[in-house]
Structure 1
Amino acid sequence: MQLKKENILIVDDDINILELLQRHLKSWNYHTYKAISVKEAVNILKDTHIDLLITDLKMPKIDGFELIKFVSEHYPKLPKLVVTGFPSVQDSLVAIKSGVVDYLTKPFTKNELKSAIDASFKNSVAKNKINEKSKLDNKEKYGEIIGNSEKINDVIQIIERVKNNKATIFIKGESGTGKELVARAIHYQGKFSNAPFIAVNCGGIPENLLEAELFGYTKGAFTGADKERNGFFQAANGGTIFLDEIGNASLSVQSRLLRVLQEKEVVKLGAQKAEKVDVRIIAATNSNLKEMITKKTFREDLFYRLTVVEINVAPLKERKEDITLLVDKFLFKYGVEYKDRFIKITPEALKILERYNWPGNIRELENIIQRAVIMCDKIIDVEHLPDSLKFNINFPEEELITIKELEKKYIQKVLNHTNNNKTKAATILGITRKTLTQKLEK
């Protein structure tokens, strides 16, 4: 009968047990390796592909627990089966926590050994499948989006639904939460990723220029228009245009945007003829557009055209579990840029970052890490973080009192100091005993 492909390493300081295990394994056509010490076992593991480790726990010098810990970290996918004559509950718990698949107590029957080995291989396959699924389900990065919090996963789920169509999308969230990263993920994770992606900050372009920049203009359309020029919409044709801070757009720009959404066409400033465009529009703002609608500064019909699909990007204080991942990203980015190496951070400093509420969101976190990388040598510690992040005592404001009340408190303090000796108190206060007595009577 042909040997099975699995290699099994047996580790036990009892030669009789080793030979017994080897006989049983050979009868099932397994190829075996034997070791009478942990040192010998480690050498075999380094030089040989092993599919299952069977080890005793109680061995002289270095015991089986050390071997299990070594294998768990150096060969994490290798299944481990403990065979021991000391079946204490404590030993079982330690072994299981170390990643042991099964636990077999001496003496054991041949059938019990076979069942344990079969279970070890079966559990190992299942465990590896779970680990692979976990890696798929808990991605730490999606495009440029970093995080595995529930809030970020919700955003990613929506992106997955909209990335391959050109539905208009509205992203809302506080300043610095990464709205543009979400827009880029929608574009670059989908089937239109090879088409243009144009990002426009509507708040960063003067109001009188925004129309010309977005829609283009003809020669002579306004003073300084010495030639015809395409706008951002024409540049984004076939792809995506991201309109950040859409709340800053004037009513005139809003009116033109509405035409693009309704008619899928753009009219340049100074032109009579419309041009067809095939553009996905993603808009974003940290303004409250519904309040702006009430104040008549934002068109209600445009609002509903823009919000076919809404994505809400949560502030960093609501997804603090993502802070460690974001810190790692910025440590690598600025460590390479400023120090030409990866910078580390102490647990104490990281704890302060995780406690802080980040009103400036990810942008503020990046700024803090950037500064800390510059200020440190190799490791960011508490001293490299600004005082505004650290614990501060809020002392209550002192209550204002009248001069009479202040005088009364001071006299009482002096009397307490002199054990109510009025003569000594009067001397300290710089008044006569008679004056002190009058003040006390009042």
Structure 2
Amino acid sequence: MSQVEVDGNGPTGGASFSAAARAAVEALLAPVDADLARRYPGDTGTRQPVHTVYVPADAFAADTVREWGRQALEAFDTHAGTPAELARALGVADDELLADVHARVRAKLEREPVEDLRIDFEDGYGPRPDAEEDAAAVRAAELVAAAVAEGAAPPYLGIRIKCMEAAVRDRGIRTLELFLATLLASGGGGLPDGLVLTLPKVTYAEQVTALVRLLEDFERRAGLPAGRIGFEIQIETTQAILGPDGRATVARMIEAAEGRATGLHYGTFDYSASCGVSAAHQSMDHPVADHAKAVMQVAAAGTGVRLSDGSTNVIPTGSTDQVHAAWKLHHDLVRRSLARAYYQGWDMHPAHLPTRYVAVYSFYREGLAAAAARLAAYVAKAGGDVMDEPATARALSGYLLRGLDCGAVDPAEVTALTGLDRARLDALAGR
């Protein structure tokens, strides 16, 4: 058998790659390396909220978050005051895990009922006289600034403006301008860390570019760091998924955002309607929804742009039987989204909050022991029944981190099960 000797420069005594060939490879791939780093930076490492609550601008008030929490707790205590009642509502087992989830959800509704709040100037607000919307934009900014200053704001909050279509473009730009300028003036010279803007009904990548140019101009004139203001893109039209040239338009929209896109939010009802789905069948689990979200998911993978599912318009109100039926529907849809790696969704009513958190907390607590064991085995190189790859270790770490962020699991129990602290989990998740 022949032997190849190796010195510090590579193989000796036989054929090898020349220095010129290696240099040519580096020159060839340097632009690719730079493009990969720019387009696919990976996850941002920040917390992603489990939901977004939409409140019409005229209904938004200083006590909105507190009031949503109060109403959510009232519904929870009235219609699922015990784990057994909750089990009956959802058609699940009344066991120790559900009892734990029940207690944790109640505490969450008291502590932090809303993780992300969007003040809506679009469909939920509708067309208004200019003076009225001007005043509402200023008022919204002042209330947001006050909530942040008082420590009463949810982790994320902001506004949804009208879209960039010709009929409402000027109005949307004016509202955004008033909101940002007032917020900046009311916030001690800066913008809140959790500020989120939402651009709805995007059909062409150029509409995304238009918002980028406006934000660049605002940052420059306000003395803010370049790129300070990001935004979500709402996917509500068929043109946002498939363009006239047959390409996936949503990927072009992420590129057009020039690093400012923070999320892609699926719009259940507008998108379904644009596909001709009748009102009775417009749902998060309709095949047209699954197709659109699959395209969104692939387009966003690795870019750091996060995904959000839509909502159900079946509201948990009325008799206990009616509330339970609506809760089961909502719970099952949220669990379905979580299994498909959609870790965020919309909630349209305070009574949706109990089942949002029951579904989310059950998802993370059910898988806690198995995920922790696999990750501990990976770190220890102990093998076990499953031989996990580094990519799976990233997924396992990300799963545990999401559970920690929303309060479904506790730092102490994760460390006890894995031997890892938050910093090590962040590192394994590639953050």
Tell me if both proteins adopt one fold, taking TM over 0.5 as the criterion.
Answer: no
Which TM-score applies when normalising by structure 1? 0.25
Higher relative CO (CA 8 A, sep ≥ 6), structure 1 or 2?
A: 2
Q: Which one has a bigger Cα radius of gyration?
A: 1
* Alignment TM-score, normalising by the size of structure 2: 0.25
